[in-house]
A and B are shown apart, each in its own frame.
Chain A
Amino acid sequence: MAQEDKKPQDGEQAKQGLRRLIVTIFGSLLAAALLPLKRHAAVRTKEAEKPQVPERYLPKWGMVIDLDKCTGCGTCMVACAVENNLPLQNRHDMEQERVIRWMRLLSLSLSDGELPNGKARLMPLCCQHCDNSPCIRVCPVRATYKNDEGMIAQIYPRCIGCRYCVNNCPYTCKFFNWREPHWPDPMDSALNPDVSLRNKGVTEKCTFCHHRLLRAKEEASAGGRGVKNGDFVPACVEACPAGAIYFGDLNDHSSKVAQLLKHDRGRVFRMLEDLGTEPKVYYLMEG
């Protein structure tokens, strides 16, 4: 009898429990769905509150590589590695195909056969700094982005190392740190203090030597002006003994790069142009 009395109470409890369960589940789902909206709203209001700054001139940095002048010596590779604190690679890395080179020489074979019978074309290849960049779209944590001046940057402390951006780069120009970087004794005291070191597990890439741009900006603002074409060049451009790599402001019509693209129009091409990635690295064909 006692049990009979208890039953309806139990039923009420169960109904409440069920209801509570359903409310909790749908409530949390709804909250999860609305959270990004709220953040978007916050960003929007923050943008609205921002004081209106007058429209200022923004350079668009780009690179032109003249394949007629390039000798394939590889100095750009070395200069880049030293400038940007690329980890020292060993034989094991080479064998495992895990070498990090922000600037590398792409070898396109023109005729079959092993060297010296076969003929190959060497092309310097670094991040193409695409205007419509496939790697930015897929990053789940916004760790890679295009800055105001068109450079594609990577936020190392935020990157989760999923390698999705690397997979979506048609040029395979992003690199993953498979292990902790290592420099033997005297080398570790000669690292570039302007460039941050990357830990194992994050993705890294060519920055167009962004740290040099920052320094140029400081110097320019000390002189009371904005940064302009010719204020800085990346390490690979500086080091190229053949003077085959040009760097400058594509928006400035008087800049060397803009002039080259205008006058040598017949020789200009970009890598995998038909993908619509709009690279800012231009090549001049061998004439």
Chain B
Amino acid sequence: MHSGSHIQSDDRLERAALEPIVRTGAGFYALAGVLSCIVALGVYAWCRQLVYGMEVTGLNYPVFWGIYITNFVFFIGISHAGTLISAILRVTGAEWRRPITRLAEAITVFALMVGPINVLFDLGRPDRALNIFKHGSFHSPLLWDVTCIGTYLIASITYLYLPLLPDIALLRDRGTRHRFLYRFLAMGWSGTEKQKRALEVAIGIMAVVIIPIAVSVHTVVSWVFAMTIQPMWHSTIFGPYFVVGAIFSGIATLIIAMAIVRKAFHLEEYMQPLHFNFLGLLLLTMSLLWFYFTLAEYLTTFYGQEPSHIKVLQSKLTGPFAPCFWLMALCCFGIPFPILAIRKTRTVSGTVLASVLVNIGMWLERYTIVVPTLSHPRLPWTGAIYHPTWIEWSLTAGCFAGFTLLFVLFGKFFPMLPVWEIKEAEAAETARKAQALPAAQPM
């Protein structure tokens, strides 16, 4: 039934997608080794913190939250990659999404695993973390966080797993390693019409359900700050501002991950400059939105001239946080905007450069939201300066390494390309062409 070229392209696709799973090079071991070492350093740092208490951090009065909370907000932010690309593009039927949905969904799950760990780092008594369930109070925005992030994690694991099913079955049938694992995970998938229909329905439902969950997640993360009465935290704009920032950094992370996977797994044929162009356009849109929200937020504060607020604002514009603030503005808007706006520079390397800058900028944005407000309480304080210690930096490095490691290991066990979804698109394309030809002939 299939044309010869079709079978050939299917074979090539399978080979490209399964090659990294079948063959393990020295590069993989080297990378996994280095990443594990960084994670181990983070574990050592956390052990020290558990033994000596929060004394080992740079936190003090009145800066009670530092880069742990910054990391938490940042990672929850990049978890929005999966939702946007995969769910929104699936719902709107954007065909070009197909080769990159798996990557996006994986980023979501791993960012959601790493992000909340930072809250544990930040707790004075992590051993009592389960009190949240025993004595939980829905008065507290922190419990809203627990609820929404928990739901999002379960939903996004499901959303990663469902489209993986046919590919796991493919591995079970074709692969040679870990057959037991794949047989278990494939849940008896055999690719019948009935199963396919059920899967389509399930993915369709999840794609719709996961969008409001994702929006709620970053909204309540922002409400942790906005619900307080502290200057420049207590802002009604924070919900949408954080959601926009989250999608912004999520797309940037996806572009970086795409470029790396494309290079490492030789997937140039599937992840084309076209994808970087489209995602670059999305990134450009989010950059403009981010700029609009930032301007709205800071201009209203500046114009109001309320003393407690203006104190915080000044520390950001001209004070000790000015380098962070202006670097953020450059990284989130100043440099990426022209790169992404000009078609000539919106290339693979151009979008990757912009994405790296955006991620640096968004981390700095989270930092300049968390720390300056705390440094300037309403009542005068001697005003300590917060300098993160090596313990905090090690844990941060550990988080980034852990995130990458999870990603690398995922790539070792599962195909980074959604094989069946690409096949499906190709089959549909062939069918369309076949149908179009006879229709063109006059009856």
Given A32-B150, A143-B135, A168-B229, the answer on whether A272 and B55 have CB atoms closer than 8 Å is: no
Nearest CB to that of A160 among chain B residues?
A: B128
Q: How far is the CB of A206 from chain B (nearest CB, A)?
A: 15
CB distance B141 to A167 under 8 Å?
A: no
Q: Mark B185-218, 1 if CB is under 8 A from A, else 0.
A: 0011110101100110010000000000000000
Nearest CB to that of A178 among chain B residues?
A: B55
Number of B positions contacting A (CB below 8 A):
59
Q: How far is the CB of A16 from chain B (nearest CB, A)?
A: 8
Q: Mark B151-165, 1 if CB is under 8 A from A, else 0.
A: 100100010000000
CB distance A159 to B125 under 8 Å?
A: yes
- Contacts A137-B140, A163-B65 known; 15 new A-B pairs at CB < 8 A: A28-B154, A32-B147, A96-B384, A108-B380, A134-B228, A138-B140, A161-B123, A163-B122, A166-B64, A167-B228, A168-B230, A170-B230, A176-B124, A178-B54, A178-B55
30 example contacts (A-B, Cβ-Cβ < 8 A) are as follows A10-B192, A11-B192, A11-B194, A11-B195, A13-B188, A15-B198, A17-B187, A18-B199, A97-B384, A99-B61, A108-B380, A137-B140, A139-B139, A158-B128, A160-B128, A160-B129, A163-B65, A167-B228, A168-B229, A170-B378, A172-B61, A176-B64, A176-B124, A177-B53, A177-B124, A178-B60, A199-B125, A200-B53, A201-B124, A202-B125
Enumerate chain B residues within 8 angstroms of A171, measured Cβ to Cβ: 378-379
CB distance A170 to B125 under 8 Å?
A: no
Q: Mark B119-151, 1 if CB is under 8 A from A, else 0.
A: 100111110110110111111111100110011
Enumerate chain B interface residues (CB-CB to A < 8 A): 52-55, 59-62, 64-65, 119, 122-126, 128-129, 131-132, 134-143, 146-147, 150-151, 154, 158, 187-190, 192, 194-195, 198-199, 202, 224, 227-230, 374, 377-382, 384
Nearest CB to that of A12 among chain B residues?
A: B188
Given A178-B53, A178-B54, A201-B125, the answer on whether A18 and B198 have CB atoms closer than 8 Å is: yes
Enumerate chain B residues within 8 angstroms of A25, measured Cβ to Cβ: 154, 158
CB distance A170 to B54 under 8 Å?
A: no
CB distance A201 to B382 under 8 Å?
A: no
CB distance B55 to A168 under 8 Å?
A: no
Enumerate chain B residues within 8 angstroms of A138, measured Cβ to Cβ: 139-142, 227-228
Q: Is A179 an interface residue (CB 8 A)?
A: yes
Q: How far is the CB of A220 from chain B (nearest CB, A)?
A: 32
Q: How far is the CB of B225 from chain A (nearest CB, A)?
A: 9
Enumerate chain A residues within 8 angstroms of B65, measured Cβ to Cβ: 163, 167
CB distance B64 to A167 under 8 Å?
A: yes
Looking at B53, B60, B125, which has the most chain A CB atoms within 10 Å of its CB? B125
Complex alpha-carbon distance, A222 and B54, angstroms = 45
Enumerate chain B residues within 8 angstroms of A203, measured Cβ to Cβ: 124
The residues in A between 207 and 261 inclusive whose CB is less than 8 angstroms from any CB of B are: none
CB distance A180 to B53 under 8 Å?
A: yes
CB distance A11 to B188 under 8 Å?
A: yes
Name the contact of B139 in the complex, choosing from A11, A137, A160, A199 (C-beta under 8 A): A137
